[in-house]
Amino acid sequence: MLSQKMLELGTKSSVIREIFEYAKKRRSEIGDDKVFDFSIGNPSIPAPQSVTDAIMRLCSEKDPVALHGYTSAVGDLGVRTKIADYIKGQFGVEAKPTQIYMTCGAAASLTITLNAIINPGDEVIVLAPFFPEYRVFAEKAGAKLCVVKCREEDFQIDFEALQSAINENTKAIIVNSPNNPTGVVFSRDTVEKLADLLNEKQKQFGKTIFLIADEPYRELAYGVEVPYLPAFYDNTVVCYSYSKSLSLPGERIGYIFVPSTVCESAKVYAAVCGAGRSLGFVCAPSLLQYVIGECIGETSDVSVYQKNRDIFYNALTDMGYKVAKPDGAFYLFMKALEADANAFCEKAKKYELLLVPSDSFGYEGYVRIAYCLNEEQITRALPAFEALIKEYK
Amino acid sequence: MLSQKMLELGTKSSVIREIFEYAKKRRSEIGDDKVFDFSIGNPSIPAPQSVTDAIMRLCSEKDPVALHGYTSAVGDLGVRTKIADYIKGQFGVEAKPTQIYMTCGAAASLTITLNAIINPGDEVIVLAPFFPEYRVFAEKAGAKLCVVKCREEDFQIDFEALQSAINENTKAIIVNSPNNPTGVVFSRDTVEKLADLLNEKQKQFGKTIFLIADEPYRELAYGVEVPYLPAFYDNTVVCYSYSKSLSLPGERIGYIFVPSTVCESAKVYAAVCGAGRSLGFVCAPSLLQYVIGECIGETSDVSVYQKNRDIFYNALTDMGYKVAKPDGAFYLFMKALEADANAFCEKAKKYELLLVPSDSFGYEGYVRIAYCLNEEQITRALPAFEALIKEYK
């Protein structure tokens, strides 16, 4: 009677959701401060005061009919102009407001982009470990997902594996840097090699291969360069979200940027408009669009995450854990102390440590640790990690 | 290279969009007050003060991490509880928060519902004249659209035509009352007959036929009852939006209600969750969810529309125009003075009257007149309508 695929997606509880429910139950049993929940990747620092100020100012000063009225489907022109100018100034890449399409956040940016470009038979490559919803979005858009594992020593791209995965059906590759779940930032060297390989493959197969840059963590980088992909590869489409940079994940606000270097870029942008329309995105939330216009270039105080990263990464590696060096986002990707990450997470639970096994990210034998918490919560959890590794020694 | 269907959707300018552009050009040529633009169906009255107050209060009092953080994918429990209680109190229909799914407005409510229930080969019936995006949404969800015309004398349902249109592939029928573009409200008699017919057809074909109630105009009704469809037909799914009732069209906030009377209602709700997820709707905008929770049961001052309706409908019928009696929404559906509505609209342009030909609503020979304007704009336009009809006499 229903779409079985949609029913499955709505019924099957995700691992993270299960841990969330367990955490709630456990907290009620032993107390909030006794449970160390590292499962949820939600910003823990508030939006900057300027966001609140902008909301207040817009509500007092702007005509409510205009403030809460439909914007153009692609987004308010003034806001898109500011975003385009920011991109130009920040990354030195040509950008026009007619190349920016405002969206309801990163998920919408991705589904709209995928639905704009996918035809039956197309394949989309993701680099494991990867955000599990990529599979949901790509398959719903009609694509086959093709998983290529990153190399384990540093979680940069394994080019040999990628090279053999690209074929005549490859329509796009999704790149997420800083990465969820590893926190790794793809280096300039990686990005240059990626561009070279994609250009070579485009030539070989005589077709366009899109690089979809999923960039919600761009501003959460700690002292390293995050190469801006459109500057390296012509057929890059940027899927951006303000969820993490401005701590506004619930507000659903972001954009798609289709640079002029993209092959038939006006057509790609038009297909983006068509896809947005057919999926039911009439426009991005208007008040939040105007707020973004007022807060261009600002971020929450992300130094909090950097401090957490330093404390946590150093402490865990000192204890003897093997952790991928995270240069951004708010995740640590730590090798489980036994082959089965699920079994390891069960043992960790005895110490009230709630970690996410890496299997759902398409990579076995690791756990994701989200450190978007306050510093005190992290330092209080360290003895539990100490006790856990002792059990294995 | 791209999805041709999405490219077409994004490229083909809608009739209303073309009129919008023409109006902009014309206004710059002859002045704002000389152009009578009846093409756009945007609320012209502001959101109630309580909406602004709620935004201000939430921003000053609620922790920003919670205010702007992810809600549950189905929406904040407190807000859903208030909506369920409101439905129960207002319509006497059992409703629980676990049957409410918060959405980014009516378009999202429709695409999510359609994607939840449609399988390849399914048909969706719409009653002409109908909102043109129904075709876009239904076809993208994989359904074949089947158009059944309403009877011309009163734009109620033509049951003979509907009866013969329903077949073993019929998965759903979309009903929009008060209607865009006619303003007609389906009477209790119509709704009872519809329920009887659908029940009979369900029995005949041994399957569920969903009634999708698209209800953005529910609160814009002028002295008539708008029957609440779940009270009449078990397999009704309500797609609601606050765009019109609270004048918040740009904010994209609404909900889907899956009543317990729906066959396997928990599964339908789960499929809704799955569809929302796969289309890229992570949650409805959080601030606006909380605002809705604070403003349940309120509306903008819709008496303004009623007054416009009275003035406009009376004046036009007095002049000799044939207009469907509109009991709600903010549209008049007027018979063109020649068979070709497009030719009629071109003639109307000579008098600076911008009307929408009915063809894109799946019905020929009429025009849609949106009267969500201020009273003065309407009265100033009346001489132009007078002059137009004289030309035909």
User: B108 contacts in A (CB within 8 Å)?
Assistant: 280-282
Average of per-residue pLDDT across A294-308:
94
For strands A254-257 and A100-103, give the pairing: antiparallel
Strand partners, B353: B36
Q: Which one, of B237, B153, B147, lies nearest residue B190 by Cα? A: B153
Q: Between chains, do B118 and A278 touch, taking CB under 8 Å as contact?
A: no
A371: three-class secondary structure by DSSP? coil
The helix or strand, by DSSP H or E, that contains position A380, with its residue range, turns out to be helix A375-392
Report whether pLDDT(B106) > 90: yes
pLDDT band of A165, cuts 50, 70, 90: very high
Nearest CA in chain A to B208: A1
Chain A nearest-CA distance from B151, in A, is 29
Q: Got the DSSP string for A96-159?
A: -GGGEEEESHHHHHHHHHHHHH--TT-EEEEEES--THHHHHHHHTTPEEEEEEPPTTT----H
Chain B nearest-CA distance from A154, in A, is 31
- Cβ atoms of B259 and B236 within 8 Å: the answer is yes
Q: Which one, of A373, A386, A250, lies nearest residue A319 by Cα? A: A386
% of chain A exceeding 90 in pLDDT:
94
What's the mean per-residue pLDDT of chain B?
96
Q: What's the pLDDT tens digit per position in A96-143?
A: 999 999 999 999 999 999 999 999 999 999 999 999 999 999 999 999
- Cβ atoms of B221 and B196 within 8 Å: the answer is no
The neighbour count for residue A94, using CB atoms within 10 Å, is: 13
Q: Which one, of B120, B74, B106, B82, lies nearest residue A17 by Cα? A: B74
Chain B nearest-CA distance from A224, in A, is 27
Which residue reads 């946590």 in tokens? A312
Question: Can you state the angle between helices B265-279 and B105-117, rounded to 10 degrees?
Answer: 120
Q: What's the pLDDT tens digit per position in B50-59?
A: 999 999 999 9
Chain B nearest-CA distance from A310, in A, is 23
Interior angle at CA A63, CA A58 and CA A65, nearest 5: 115
Strand order across the A331-335 sheet: A331-335, A366-370, A356-357
Cβ contacts of residue B233 below 8 Å, gap of 6+?
A: B191, B194, B195, B198, B199, B211
SS (H, E, C) chain B: CCCHHHHHHHHCCCHHHHHHHHHHHHHHHHCHHHCEECCCCCCCCCCCHHHHHHHHHHHHHCCHHHHCCCCCCCCCHHHHHHHHHHHHHHHCCCCCHHHEEEECHHHHHHHHHHHHHCCCCCEEEEEECCCCHHHHHHHHCCCEEEEEECCCCCCCCCHHHHHHHCCCCEEEEEEECCCCCCCCCCCHHHHHHHHHHHHHHHHHHCCCCEEEEECCCCCCECCCCCCCHHHCCCCEEEEEECCCCCCCHHHCCEEEECCCCCCCHHHHHHHHHHHHHHHCCCCCCHHHHHHHHHCCCCCCCCHHHHHHHHHHHHHHHHHCCCECCCCECCEEEEECCCCCHHHHHHHHHHCCEECEEHHHHCCCCEEEEECCCCHHHHHHHHHHHHHHHHHHC
Q: Between chains, do B116 and A3 touch, taking CB under 8 Å as contact?
A: yes
Average of per-residue pLDDT across A213-230:
96
User: A139 contacts in B (CB within 8 Å)?
Assistant: 278
Q: Which two tokens stand for residue A272?
A: 């983006």
Alpha-carbon distance of B96 to B109, in angstroms, equals 18
Average of per-residue pLDDT across A174-181:
97
Q: What's the pLDDT tens digit per position in B189-219?
A: 999 999 999 999 999 999 999 999 999 999 9
Question: What integer pLDDT is reported at residue B20 of this predicted model?
Answer: 81
Who among A1, A71, A263 is closest to B250 (CB)? A71
Alpha-carbon distance of B291 to A244, in angstroms, equals 23
Alpha-carbon distance of B17 to B34, in angstroms, equals 20
Q: Between chains, do B282 and A107 touch, taking CB under 8 Å as contact?
A: yes
Q: Which two tokens stand for residue B180?
A: 């865009």
- Cβ atoms of A69 and B250 within 8 Å: the answer is yes
Report whether pLDDT(B113) > 90: yes
Q: Between chains, do B7 and A105 touch, taking CB under 8 Å as contact?
A: no
Question: What integer pLDDT is reported at residue B393 of this predicted model?
Answer: 87
Q: Between chains, do A71 and B112 touch, taking CB under 8 Å as contact?
A: no
Q: Is the peptide bond before A129 cis (omega within 30 degrees of 0)?
A: yes
Alpha-carbon distance of A343 to A365, in angstroms, equals 10
- Read off the pTM: 0.96
User: A1 contacts in B (CB within 8 Å)?
Assistant: 117, 207-208, 263-264
Among the residue ranges A188-202, B28-42, B322-336, the one predicted with the least confidence is B28-42
Average of per-residue pLDDT across B25-49:
92
Q: Which two tokens stand for residue B42?
A: 């945007």
Alpha-carbon distance of B238 to B110, in angstroms, equals 9
Q: What's the pLDDT tens digit per position in B245-302?
A: 999 999 999 999 999 999 999 999 999 999 999 999 999 999 999 999 999 999 999 9
pLDDT band of A24, cuts 50, 70, 90: confident
Cβ contacts of residue A393 below 8 Å, gap of 6+?
A: none
End-to-end CA distance of chain A: give it in Å, rounded. 54
pLDDT band of A91, cuts 50, 70, 90: very high
Q: Between chains, do B65 and A247 touch, taking CB under 8 Å as contact?
A: yes
Alpha-carbon distance of B369 to B182, in angstroms, equals 9
Who among B7, B65, B108 is closest to A274 (CB)? B7
Alpha-carbon distance of A126 to A137, in angstroms, equals 12
Q: Is the peptide bond before B120 cis (omega within 30 degrees of 0)?
A: no
Q: Between chains, do B6 and A278 touch, taking CB under 8 Å as contact?
A: yes
Q: Which one, of B311, B298, B323, lies nearest residue B374 by Cα? A: B311
Nearest CA in chain B to A138: B278
Chain A nearest-CA distance from B69, in A, is 4
Q: Which one, of A72, A77, A104, A110, lies nearest residue A280 by Cα? A: A104
Average of per-residue pLDDT across B349-360:
96
Average of per-residue pLDDT across A314-325:
96
Question: What integer pLDDT is reported at residue A21 of this predicted model?
Answer: 83
pLDDT band of B21, cuts 50, 70, 90: confident
